[in-house]
Every structure is written in C-alpha cells, then in structure tokens.
A and B are shown apart, each in its own frame.
Chain A
Amino acid sequence: GQNIDQPTEMTATEGAIVQINCTYQTSGFNGLFWYQQHAGEAPTFLSYNVLDGLEEKGRFSSFLSRSKGYSYLLLKELQMKDSASYLCAVSPKATNAGKSTFGDGTTLTVKP
C-alpha cells in the first residue's frame, strides 16, 4: 500500500521562503508529483521528481530522496497568490500517472 504524510497547514509571510515536506512509504515507487490547488479549483502540475536531488523551476523547487522516502517543495519570494493547497502524490508506475496516491495536501497561507 501507500502512505503519504504532509503537514496540514503552514503560514508564511509575503517575500519569505517556505518548505513543504512530504514523506512516503510505498510498495512501489517511480516518481513523486507536486500539485498546486487553489480553493475550489482543479490541481495544476508543478513538478515531477524521479531521481534524487533538487530540481528548480523559477520560484519553485522540488527535492527528492528516494532512500529516505522524503520530498520537499520549496517556494521562494512568496506572493499572496501562492496561498493554496499543495498536494504531494506518489506514482507507482512510469506510464500511469493517474494511479498516483495523493497526500491530503498542505494548506499554505501567505500573509502580508
């Protein structure tokens, strides 16, 4: 089976940096997704990590350690629009992204 843990809520200040952690215990692992979901809207893809290490994409970076079952999403220069839920999801198989198991999400509130 799959078990994914991430903090329920986080708060940060505009312009700051925040790190959202995700730990997982899975029977199969191919890669880890991060999605952003604003309230009442669909999730949007942020990143997909397959190999260990840090991948940077503008203000957002994602890190993966397969041996530790650990990932984090790093958001820099926070903006008010970054207030959203961030979902971590583990993909068990390379060609079947939709069979991913999702964590419950971390609700990030950015304050002025």
Chain B
Amino acid sequence: DGGITQSPKYLFRKEGQNVTLSCEQNLNHDAMYWYRQDPGQGLRLIYYSQIVNDFQKGDIAEGYSVSREKKESFPLTVTSAQKNPTAFYLCASSSPSGRIQYFGAGTRLSVL
C-alpha cells in the first residue's frame, strides 16, 4: 500500500540529546514536509523539501535540522538547541498538483 511511514510512534528525549524522527514515503512525491502540532493548535511548518538534495526552512526551523538524500526519505533531527521539543510531529508529502497532502501517523516526542 502507498503511504507515509513515520517512526517511532513515541520518542523520549533526555536533556542535551539530539533525536531523529524517521519519515519514509512510497508515493513517489517530490515534495515533503515536517510539521509540529502543540495541544489545541494547528500545524506549524518546520522544514520542507521540494526536491532531493534541497530543503527550505519553514516558520519554526530553529532547533531542528533535516536532510533529503533520497526521494523517499526526509528525516528530522530535533537538536538540543530546541528547548521545548514536546509536541506531536507530522510528516507529509504532496501530490504533483499540490492539491492534496498526505500525512504520516505522527511521532509524539516527550522530554524525560
């Protein structure tokens, strides 16, 4: 089945630790995105990539980093510089027309 796979579903970070969230898609989409969602709020764009080996900062990129070495993969690293990382992280890709966006099931990150 085509779709977006995020792992892990739950992740715990210790103080000063970097953690990486995985996002893989088999939809053959060029564009991929990372969002953060805090309780009771909408989605905020962290980073996006429209093509392999290229990515752009979104609205809240500070404390995060990404890579796009393969079309299928767009991992997000939450660095120790992100002081408030507890949130629900969603990865998405969009169809070539840009009219539909597909989301992964999300990763819930908490701080120990």
Contacts and interface: CB of A to CB of B under 8 A. Distances in A.
Contacts of B33: 98
B50 A41 contact: no
A104 B106 contact: no
Interface in A83-106: 87, 89, 91, 93-100, 102-105
B41 A105 contact: yes
B9 to A, nearest CB: 10
A44 interface: yes
Contacts, number: 69
> A41, A95, A104 — which one has the most chain B CB atoms within 10 A of its CB?
A95
Contacts of B53: none
Interface string B79-112: 0000000001010111111111111111010000
Q: How large is the interface on A (under 10, 10 to 19, 20 to 34, 35 or more residues)?
A: 20 to 34
Nearest to B33: A98
Nearest to A33: B101
Interface of B: 31-33, 40-45, 48, 50, 58, 88, 90, 92-106, 108
19 contacts: A8-B40, A40-B108, A41-B106, A44-B103, A45-B101, A45-B102, A48-B100, A91-B98, A93-B98, A97-B31, A98-B31, A98-B33, A98-B45, A100-B101, A102-B42, A102-B43, A104-B41, A104-B42, A105-B42
